[in-house]
Amino acid sequence: MITSTTSRCAGGLLCLVAALMPARAQTQTAGSTTTAAVTTEQLTVADPYLEMRSGPGRGYPVFFVVARGQAVVVELRHTDWFKVRAEGGQIGWVQRVQLQTTLTAAGASKTFRDIALDDYLAHRLQMGAAVGRFKSEPMLKLWTSYKLTDTLSAEATLGQVQGVFSGTNFWHVSLNSEPWSDQRLSPFFGVGLGKFKNFPNQSLVGATITDAKLAHAMVGLRYYLSERFVLRTDWALYTAFVSDQHSTEYRAITAGVSFFF
């Protein structure tokens, strides 16, 4: 029975989490350089004013303000920033959240949901972290996945279970299917293989390390939250092949968040 982890086991995965954080920041910075042309569209300012900046970011100064009732034309998109032209010919950058309060030519509020969802559907690489329970013990896992097709992805997972009498590390690779990947709320399924290693507390008499092959099947639910973030929960059945004649099953449930780029 799995019941504790040594401080050495816990530290290893936590260090990996910390190491991934700067990598994520660098990735998002690099991703922000993507610029895309958009269909030219005229919008009317509905708020008291609309701030135009000299560049696509909050670090750039506001150099012009468009008053309520005046129109702007959207010319270019740069991640969440849009290049617009005012009636007087001034050209500047406006964040998406400000444009969401403008009105279209038909008088309806402007929505960018399709653009945001398109960003998610176009992504290939995704990384995430989750917490949960592995049998009855606390569990932490990290994963990264790469989309092979619109509905099929390859995923690699590193996990750690904490208990009272032993600690467990495991990893596995899996193939995941997401039949309704174009929906904001979407179920997914996966199967995979990996390795399972249990480290009993050294104070236990006759304690031996268990090193076994691992197979798992998973079903989960994904919800595209906003921007680059996705919420995810999953339930998995793990089978550890301890010997040729003996195997042990464990059930796990986790919930976490991932980001894509």
Domain boundary at 120, 135, 162, which? 120
Tokens 């038909």 label which residue?
106
pLDDT bracket for residue 32 (50, 70, 90): very low
Same domain, 215 and 254: yes
Say what percent of the chain tops pLDDT 70: 74
228-242 pLDDT tens trace: 788 999 999 999 898
Interatomic CA distance for residues 139 and 141, integer angstroms: 7
Mean pLDDT of 82-89: 91
Containing domain of residue 158, as a range? Answer: 124-260
pLDDT bracket for residue 129 (50, 70, 90): very high
Q: Residue 16: enclosing H or E segment and its boundaries?
A: helix 7-31
Which strand ranges, in their side-by-side order, compose the sheet holding 71-78?
35-44, 71-78, 81-86, 91-95, 49-53, 62-67
- Is residue 15 situated within a structural domain? no
What does the pLDDT read at residue 37? 53
Interatomic CA distance for residues 253 and 74, integer angstroms: 45
132 forms beta bridges with 139, 254
Same domain, 149 and 83: no
Interatomic CA distance for residues 44 and 101, integer angstroms: 9
Mean pLDDT of 96-104: 78
What does the pLDDT read at residue 10? 41
pLDDT at 144 over 60: yes
Mean pLDDT of 102-119: 62
Looking at residue 234, its amino acid is D
151-177 pLDDT tens trace: 899 999 999 998 777 788 999 999 999
pLDDT bracket for residue 202 (50, 70, 90): low
Query: Which is more confident, 64 or 30?
Result: 64
The average confidence (pLDDT) of the chain is 79
Q: Residue 114: enclosing H or E segment and its boundaries?
A: helix 113-122
CATH number at residue 62: 2.30.30.40
Domain boundary at 120, 140, 156, which? 120
For residue 37, how many C-alpha atoms fall within 13 Å in the half-sphere facing its CB?
Answer: 2
Q: How many independent structural domains does the chain possess?
A: 2
